Amino acid sequence: MKKNQLIISIAAAVLSSGCAFTPSYQVPKGYPVAKLNLDSSGSKWICVSGQRQQLIPDTTGYAEIAAGNRITIGISYSGAQYGSVNLSCNPRSSIIPKEGQAYFIDFQVEASWCTAILFKEDPAKRTGLSIEPTLAPSSECEAR
């Protein structure tokens, strides 16, 4: 009987966390595609119709994203900063991805403030990144 109670308690904790039912994102069929480099801290998501969908990297570390329309991409982060201060944040930004272009999402924490900035990958630049001209703040898919 105690084993069943433990299983029910664990299941309730997972379900109440909101993480159990975050669907994985897939570009809708027929849409133009861009790529997003997911090689930074935190769990990446895209906002679709007001709901977060998890971005899953392929074997090269990229996720396909729909191109041509403004999209919001964010990061869910929870961890210790500065030794013992726990921080949880969900920064997001929006861009209008261009078909065939690769992007990088950078995540930074400074003084308990989180930011997520989307860059255009640009091999002609010394850093390999350029400022994305369509970058804008977003309030879509606010933290739950």
Of 2-16, 83-97, 103-117, which gets the smallest average pLDDT?
2-16
pLDDT in tens, 45-65: 999 999 999 999 999 999 999
Owning domain of residue 96 = 22-137
Of the candidates 78, 2, 94, which has an alpha carbon nearest to the alpha carbon of residue 42?
Answer: 78
Is the pLDDT score of 32 beyond 70?
yes
**8 A C-beta contact, residue 55 and residue 25:** yes
Residue 16 forms part of a structural domain: no
The predicted model scores a pTM of 0.80
Total structural domains within the chain: 1
Residue 132 forms part of a structural domain: yes
Residue 89 forms part of a structural domain: yes
pLDDT category of residue 68 using cuts at 50, 70 and 90: very high
Residue 47 forms part of a structural domain: yes
Q: Vertex 73, ends 69 and 75: CA angle to 5°? A: 180
Of the candidates 59, 1, 51, 5, which has an alpha carbon nearest to the alpha carbon of residue 25?
Answer: 51
Residue 6 forms part of a structural domain: no
Of 21-25, 94-98, 137-141, which gets the smallest average pLDDT?
21-25
pLDDT in tens, 108-144: 888 778 899 999 999 999 999 999 999 999 988 876 5
Is the pLDDT score of 1 beyond 90?
no
Residue 104 forms part of a structural domain: yes
Is the pLDDT score of 80 beyond 80?
no
Residue 110 forms part of a structural domain: yes
